[in-house]
Every structure is written in structure tokens, then in C-alpha cells.
Amino acid sequence: MSNTYVSHVAVVVILAMASQCFAATTGAGNGVSGADAGRRARAAQTVAGILAVHNEARRAVGVAPLAWSAGIARYAKGYAASRRGDCAPRRSPLFNFGENAFVGKGRRWNAPALAAAWVDEGRRRYNYGSNTCAGAAAPALSGSSSPCTRYTQVVWRNTTQVGCGRIVCDSGDSLLVCDYFPPGNYGTGRPY
């Protein structure tokens, strides 16, 4: 066998491998439709937005950023889907996680905007010095014992992972559920 023949075979093999790599990274040739690719891109953008809201709040108080957990997100999405009929921001029965839930009127709410409401509420009401929360929960933010617990869960120092799920309820309103691990808001300690 000549060296030229071996060289040509090597080039063909390398080109075939490069073609497969390109197809895998672009979605071409692996059954991923343009709609699926668009859906995945929007999902990735939503995850990035949720993490940005959480991690900016955490950075502002000096705690480490959260990582996204796909497993926790599946649980949160499943629980949110179970509330589709009543759209109630109630606590899920699984207490292994900390949890925040928010109902936004109408379907136009995006997940990062819903999460930003928790942070904004906490920044306005939470007093770190006294570890207290000013005022009662606003009607749109009901479903918690304190208007600051959603914020303190976002910035809880020992929490390392988050996963969220957003659905549009039968009423047409948007429900976002975020679950956190390890959970925060336990004991009488400060969140950070």
C-alpha cells in the first residue's frame, strides 16, 4: 500500500469525522428541527435570565452564585403543572427543597421578571441589621408567611442549586416555581 493512498484515506476519515462533529454541534443531521432548536435556545435564554437575577442578588450581598439543576427544574416544572387548574402559589409537599412561587397576571410574564419580583420585594423590605421584614405581603405576592422569605431564599448563603418551572395556568396567568437546594429560611439565622 502506498503512502499516498494511506494519506488520502486519512484525509477522507478526518473530513468525515469533522462533518459528524459539525452536524452534532449545529443540530444538522441528528433529527433536531428548526423549531426544536429554537425552543432549546429560548429555554437556555430563560435559564440564563433566571440565574442572572438570582446571582446578581447574591453577588450584591457577597454570597457565591447558584448553579442550575436540571433535576430540580424538572421537579419544579412538574409541581407547577399540578397547579395549572387553580394557579395557587402554594408550597409543594416535598420539603427537601426551599421553594418560591409567584403568580403573574396574564401569560406575558417571563420567568426572569417573575424572579426579579422576589428580589425587588426583598431589597425594599428586608433589614439585615435587625433580620426583620417591613410590612405585609402585597396581594400579588401572597402565599408566604413573610414578604421577605422569597428574597432570603434567593440569597441564602448555603444554597448552591436552583431549578425553576414556569407554566401558563388555565386562567391565563403565569405561575413560576423555583426550588432550591439546600433549602434556606431555616432557624433564626441570617441569610448571609
> Which pLDDT belongs to residue 31?
58
DSSP for the chain, written as a single string = --HHHHHHHHHHHHHHHHHHHHHHHH-TTTT--HHHHHHHHHHHHHHHHHHHHHHHHHHHHT-PPPEE-HHHHHHHHHHHHHTTTT---PPPS-TTSEEEEEEESSTT--HHHHHHHHHHHHHHHEETTTTEE-SPPPGGG-SSSSTTHHHHHHT-TT--EEEEEEEE-TTS-EEEEEEEES----TT----
> Which pLDDT belongs to residue 107?
85
- One digit per residue, the tens of pLDDT, for the chain of length 192 reads 444 433 443 333 333 333 333 333 334 445 567 888 988 999 899 999 999 999 999 999 999 999 999 999 999 999 999 999 999 999 998 889 999 998 989 988 888 888 898 999 999 999 999 988 987 444 333 344 577 999 999 999 999 999 999 999 999 999 999 999 999 998 878 999
Q: Which domains does the chain have, with CATH numbers?
A: 40-135+143-181 (3.40.33.10)
